[in-house]
Chain A
Amino acid sequence: MSKINIIERIIAMHAGKEVVSVGEEVSVTVDLAIAHDVTAPMAIEQFEKIGVSKVFDSTKIALVSDHNIPCSSVNSRLQHKALESFSDQYDVHYFGRSEGVIHQIISEEKLYKKGDIIVGADSHTCTAGAYGVVAIPVGSTEMAAVMALGSIDLEVPVTEVIAINGSLNPGVYAKDVILHVIGKFGTNGFTDKAVIFSGDTIISMNNEEKMTIANMMIEMGVMIGYIDQGDEEIGEVSTIHEISAETIVPCVACPSSPGNVKPIVDVSGVRINQAVLGSCTNGRYSDMEIAAKVIEGRKIAKNVNMIVFPGSKKIVEKMEKNGLTKVFRDAGAVITNPGCGPCFGAHQGLLSSDDVAVSSTNRNFPGRMGHKDAQIYLASPRIVAESAILGYLSSPGTVMPLEDE
């Protein structure tokens, strides 16, 4: 086994070094820096304070208006304008027409490749880890510094591996896998660490499933979330956690933490009045397809609002072409434009104090989707769809037999 591991290899390469060791402080070059409409305005303001006349490389910066689109307030309009004028002035990539969620867009537009280092002013930047990228979430000031310098200072993290092997049970999806792991290790289980998901269960997943897993690794506090691409040796890591795929059951994260994970059977029957399908976690075509198969020819339960918010314009186009948008609409769901929509509590479907939602998104903190007393259960698109039809939390297979997939 080679001594330096795959994460350290990428860091060393970007630090201009042969090797790096855990704890060492290094400055690494950045291949792509990203920010969106609620983080970029502050980054732009900080960038202007630096007083530099240009960005480090205009082709390596991408701004996306995805959180409040169309604008949900006068202030959010001002935020969009800040992104527009910055992109005009510095000629950076800008996506301001509801093309989709930032993490989906940079993937579809192929703005990065395996082995890159990405810095993003959004915590779910780790989604790109699905493609063998070291993707580091930061705040606005650090984003500003990267736009000026083209580099970021970081300490080489301890690396741990979560190896999942075996066959997943019917009704268990990538979302259940990541929820299972977050439930097992907790929301600060890997603070400041790099975590590599590996094992044959993970490696054999498709890219969309890998993105779901990488996306939620931040919910365990990771510095870097990375998916083993299966094409090179991982190298030496501090700890390997083995999980057998057969032990994973369909599950939900109960209110009010992504770490409060329980098997769905323990909470089946809990009444819901909102079902949310979409986001950078589960807003891709395969997620829509899983849900649409359950919903086709059926009606959303009375008193349940179902909101579908696809991850990108390309996903919507495919949904339209294959009749999925009609399936959702006919069942009584609302389909919004691509974006972050109801996931983060600013618009497009807020909850009041006594509401209960089942959602394919990534966070269920108090107030995440509206009132702080509203209850949010995080689940796979399959559970969201079945629960939407029945009006209460339901196990996969309750509405439509699992073998009919």
Chain B
Amino acid sequence: METIRGKAFIFGKNIDTDQILPGYAMSVPPEELGNYALKGSSKPDFAEVVELGDIIFAEDNFGCGSSREQAPLALKNCGLGAIVGSSFARIFRRNAINIGLPVLVTNDIERIIKESTERDVFEINIDKARLKNISTNKSYNLVRLSDTTYETLQAGGLINKVKKILIERGERIEQ
């Protein structure tokens, strides 16, 4: 899979979906969702400052709360490349993977944050399950994705995978 490269934004633990995408923004059209990414968090200007490929470092339980897929979609649409965290809430994690936004677990999040500065640039190699701080030349291990998760990400999300299953079943689908 393609390498992800960008600077990092640091978030603490228990960042819930209301902070990632507030309830009032759940009705906006998908193409506008990016403007509301993390609007309810301690970094309400996130959508304005994030650049394509940037990464979020998060502590435990990122994405807890509701099932709103608008939350990971807002993050993806504003240009975020990946989220690296010590743990993720289940629905958020699956939603992100299903729309092709990599969420990666690491046991080293504290060290990664401690050994970096705001200006550092990072690179993620999903195939090798490695995160590299380009600025300091230090590398860190990520937890390898399960085969199913890897397949879904590689297919560009769940929808493409479902199409494949239906074709294998011999069902007619519009391409």
A and B physically associate: yes
Let me know if A38 and B27 touch, CB within 8 A: yes
Neighbouring A residues of B65 by C-beta, 8 Å: 123, 363, 365
Chain B 48-88 interface mask (CB, 8 Å, partner A; 1/0): 00000000000011001111111011000000000000010
Indicate if A142 sits at the interface (CB-CB under 8 A).
yes
Let me know if B30 and A42 touch, CB within 8 A: yes
Let me know if A79 and B27 touch, CB within 8 A: yes
Shortest CB distance A255–B (Å): 13
Shortest CB distance A175–B (Å): 18
Let me know if A51 and B173 touch, CB within 8 A: yes
Q: Which of A69-88 contact B (CB under 8 A)?
A: 72-73, 75-76, 78-79
Shortest CB distance A235–B (Å): 23
Let me know if B40 and A139 touch, CB within 8 A: no
Shortest CB distance A24–B (Å): 12
Interface centre among A120, A139, A155, A372 (most CB of B within 10 A): A139
Let me know if A187 and B14 touch, CB within 8 A: yes
Shortest CB distance B17–A (Å): 8
Let me know if A345 and B22 touch, CB within 8 A: yes
Let me know if B22 and A367 touch, CB within 8 A: yes
Shortest CB distance A355–B (Å): 16
A binding-site residues for B, Cβ under 8 Å: 25, 38-39, 42, 45-46, 49-53, 67-68, 72-73, 75-76, 78-79, 120-123, 125, 137-142, 144-145, 148-149, 153, 155, 187-188, 191-192, 221, 223, 257, 344-346, 363, 365-368, 372
Q: Which 5 A-B pairs rank lowest in CB-CB distance, beginning with the nearest?
A: A345-B23, A51-B174, A139-B95, A139-B69, A75-B27
30 pairs, A vs B, C-beta closer than 8 Å = A42-B73, A52-B166, A52-B171, A53-B174, A67-B26, A76-B27, A121-B69, A122-B66, A123-B65, A123-B67, A137-B91, A139-B91, A141-B69, A141-B98, A142-B94, A145-B162, A148-B166, A187-B64, A221-B64, A223-B90, A344-B66, A345-B18, A346-B23, A346-B24, A365-B65, A366-B18, A367-B18, A367-B19, A368-B23, A372-B40
Given A50-B173, A221-B64, output 6 extra A-B contacts at Cβ < 8 Å: A50-B162, A139-B69, A191-B90, A363-B18, A363-B66, A368-B23
